[in-house]
Structure 1
Amino acid sequence: MEIAPDFFNYFEVAATILDNDKTIMAVSSWNDNGQHQFVRDPKALFRSDFFPGLGWMLKKSTWVELSPKWPKAYWDDWLRRKDIRKNRQFIRPEICRTYNFGEHGSSMGQFFKQYLEPIKLNNVQVDWKEADLSYLLEGNFLKYFAKMVADAKPLHGADVALKGDNLDGDVRIKYNDQREFERIAHQFGIFKEWKDGIPRTAYKGVVFFWYQTSRRIFLVGPDSLRLLGVEKAQIPLA
């Protein structure tokens, strides 16, 4: 595994957020949708309901809680279970701070060519000690992210990736269930996989990524606008 130049600085500063916010279970260096074509900002961090893995940090108290029942295999999927996570979330970067170059391993090379090999490893020396990360605290991030989603233009119908080519600015696309999410995700080329009812990288059911480097795409679940407290939650998006 290769690490970014700001890897240790990132975790050192993120530890403060981890210590001060009990709703955060761990901090990760990984974004499952961190392929070159889907990322842009080396300073952007997000909360997620999905455990990213691949370079992560948790508190000693959390380890004391989990270690007696830690599984011998597939512990990453175990951490993604709702009964283990207990509504806690994770901090992840937009651009990965680790790069997994091992095609052959315990995962048997699953997803490597399509999802892991194209991952962008951050090459910018971000001075995290000068960054204000208070927006990541639970109440602050909810408002911060909700505004981004609310400001995005709703996009309707089939072939949304093709329609997105002709729009300026951010867009949001509603999915009603896992099957519909997988269809839309396939059009854009992002991860389709869910674990215990949650798509990879999702926060409140919303999966975010950059598209053609000029606009943000928000895939919005059936309950996402309500969970985010967006005022337009009663307006159909699709």
Structure 2
Amino acid sequence: MARFSCDFRWLLLVAAVAFIFIQMRLFATQSKYADRLAAAVEAENYCTRQTRLYIDQISMQQGQIVALKDEKKRRDEETVHLRALVRDLERKGLQRLNEKLEVPVAAVVVMACNRADYLERTVNSILKYHGSVASKYPLFVSQDGPDSKVKSKALSYDQITYMQHLDYEAIRTERPGELIAYYKIARHYKWALDKLFYKHNFSKVVILEDDMEIAPDFFEYFEAAAGLLDRDRSIMAVSSWNDNGQKQFVHDPYVLYRSDFFPGLGWMLSKETWDELSPKWPKAYWDDWLRLKENHKGRQFIRPEVCRTYNFGEHGSSLGQFFSQYLAPIKLNDVNVKWKSMDLSYLVEDNYLEYFASLVKKAKPIHGADAVVKANGVDGDVRIKYSDQPEFESIARQFGIFEEWKDAVPRAAYKGVVVFRYQTTKRVFLYGPDSLQQLRIEKT
């Protein structure tokens, strides 16, 4: 029994030693595998980092490839455009312009985009009166964008030199909700005018849009006005448009006015003025920008009583704003006025102040409410005073003329005075609180 008990203890000892040995081996094995696992995890993390780095590099290269493809596409399109333009210029013989002894009065450019039907109507209206003055007014169409129908339509006219503005630079609006179209238009205007003034070296340019018809005396009007631009530096531009040129507010096709408000819609400017405007041309809303006093610096604009352009563009970037009320009823002049035989010296700055002041001074003053009713009872011209913008808007609303102001200037105003016809021939002068002082009718 004692021997058996001794053997049992030895067996336990051997088992304990074997257990300890196995545990040590297991611990060593676990440590070994733990080290290997840690190394594997580290290797995996390294591979993940390298993979991400390679992915980023590949993405960057793919972005560069896409950019290069876009650049190649743009250059290919420009190459096609330039080849077509060279063929067109060779076909039309534009180089003959430099051989002519007669210096052009101005280039005429039609600004177009994606309305081929509108462009056709505009060009046909121009060509109706252009033939006899073609050498004085080289005709261009400047297209913004790649619309193939517009390009084909422009190239179908032998009398036209075609220009195409292809702009792939992204546009970022300055304020939420703004239309990108106004930014594109401003870029296009600058590009086209830079081309005409600095590449083709014209001294003056008449700007039309692809939704306009012109009057019979359009070209002679601008030829006579070009002389005014040359001799009177207080004139910033000449327009063929009157904002209050609706049929019921105009009468005399021979009358011109000066205005502190830029009318646009068919206008001419000189290279000297463009030299000033081009470097600071705005990103958008170029026409409102031109109406800021800081930009026209006290200079004024010539405008007719009866419009020499008619805007039929109900559908466009402005989404038909004001069309039915103010644009559709515009009277397009139908009298072929011989402007070159007329004396326009009354429009020179000092002469005009005296001329216009005499008209206002002779008009009968009307005071109080019901301006329209009181004007009905007067045979001759009348003048009505407004004290501020709200009162002007109220009076303008009664008559139906434009109520809008820009930079404290009513549309079509000169020295704060807005003039229009009423009951066919009578003039109505709406004048501000300091207009008579500015016209030197009353002392300050």
TM-score, normalising length from structure 2? 0.52
Q: What letter is aligned with 1:3?
A: I
| Cα deviation 1:23-44 (Å, max 9, x = unaligned) | 1000000000000000000010
1:84 alignment counterpart: 295
From 214, 220, 230, give the equivalent of 1:9: 220
From 356, 364, 370, give the equivalent of 1:159: 370
Structure 1 residue 145 displacement after superposition: 0.2
1:74 aligns with 2:291: no
1:149 alignment counterpart: 360
Kindly indicate whether structure 1 or structure 2 has the higher relative contact order, using CA contacts under 8 Å at least 6 residues apart: 1
1:25 aligns with 2:236: yes
From 30, 43, 68, give the equivalent of 2:254: 43
Structure 2 segments unaligned to the other structure (5+ residues):
1-211
From 133, 137, 152, give the equivalent of 2:348: 137
Q: What are the residue-to-residue correspondences of 1:222-237 with 2, within 5 Å? A: 222-231=433-442
1:171 aligns with 2:382: yes
| Cα deviation 1:86-126 (Å, max 9, x = unaligned) | 00000000000000001011111110000000000000000
Distance in 2 (alpha carbons) for counterparts of 1:220 and 1:13: 29
- Match of 2:412, SS? coil
Distance in 1 (alpha carbons) for counterparts of 2:222 and 2:373: 38
Structure 1 residue 163 displacement after superposition: 1.3
1:181 alignment counterpart: 392
Q: What letter is aligned with 2:423?
A: Q
Distance in 1 (alpha carbons) for counterparts of 2:388 and 2:419: 17
Distance in 2 (alpha carbons) for counterparts of 1:102 and 1:93: 21
Distance in 2 (alpha carbons) for counterparts of 1:228 and 1:68: 34
2:142 alignment counterpart: none
From 323, 331, 338, give the equivalent of 1:127: 338
From 297, 322, 326, give the equivalent of 1:115: 326
Distance in 1 (alpha carbons) for counterparts of 2:328 and 2:310: 8
Distance in 1 (alpha carbons) for counterparts of 2:440 and 2:328: 37
- Match of 1:58, SS? strand
2:311 alignment counterpart: 100
| Cα deviation 1:210-234 (Å, max 9, x = unaligned) | 1011311000110100000014x57
Distance in 2 (alpha carbons) for counterparts of 1:7 and 1:206: 26
Structure 1 residue 71 displacement after superposition: 1.9
Q: What letter is aligned with 1:185?
A: A
Please report the RMSD computed on the Cα atoms of aligned residues, expressed in angstroms.
0.9
Structure 1 residue 161 displacement after superposition: 0.6
2:408 alignment counterpart: 197
Structure 1 residue 15 displacement after superposition: 0.4
Structure 1 residue 85 displacement after superposition: 0.8
Distance in 2 (alpha carbons) for counterparts of 1:103 and 1:11: 26
TM-score, normalising length from structure 1? 0.96
The answer to whether the 8 Å contact 2:251/2:425 transfers is no
2:189 alignment counterpart: none
Distance in 1 (alpha carbons) for counterparts of 2:250 and 2:366: 21
Distance in 2 (alpha carbons) for counterparts of 1:183 and 1:107: 25
1:207 alignment counterpart: 418
Q: What letter is aligned with 1:149?
A: V
Q: What letter is aligned with 1:5?
A: P
- Match of 1:108, SS? coil
Distance in 2 (alpha carbons) for counterparts of 1:49 and 1:91: 9
| Cα deviation 1:134-165 (Å, max 9, x = unaligned) | 00000000000000000000001111011111
Distance in 2 (alpha carbons) for counterparts of 1:52 and 1:64: 21
Structure 1 residue 64 displacement after superposition: 0.9
Greater CA radius of gyration, 1 or 2?
2
- Match of 1:210, SS? strand
Structure 1 residue 77 displacement after superposition: 0.3
Distance in 1 (alpha carbons) for counterparts of 2:215 and 2:336: 8
Distance in 2 (alpha carbons) for counterparts of 1:30 and 1:17: 17
1:54 alignment counterpart: 265
Question: Runs of at least 4 residues of structure 1 off by over 4 A?
Answer: none
Q: What letter is aligned with 2:249?
A: F
Distance in 1 (alpha carbons) for counterparts of 2:419 and 2:408: 17
Distance in 1 (alpha carbons) for counterparts of 2:337 and 2:292: 33
Structure 1 residue 72 displacement after superposition: 3.3
Distance in 2 (alpha carbons) for counterparts of 1:195 and 1:73: 16
Structure 1 residue 128 displacement after superposition: 0.5
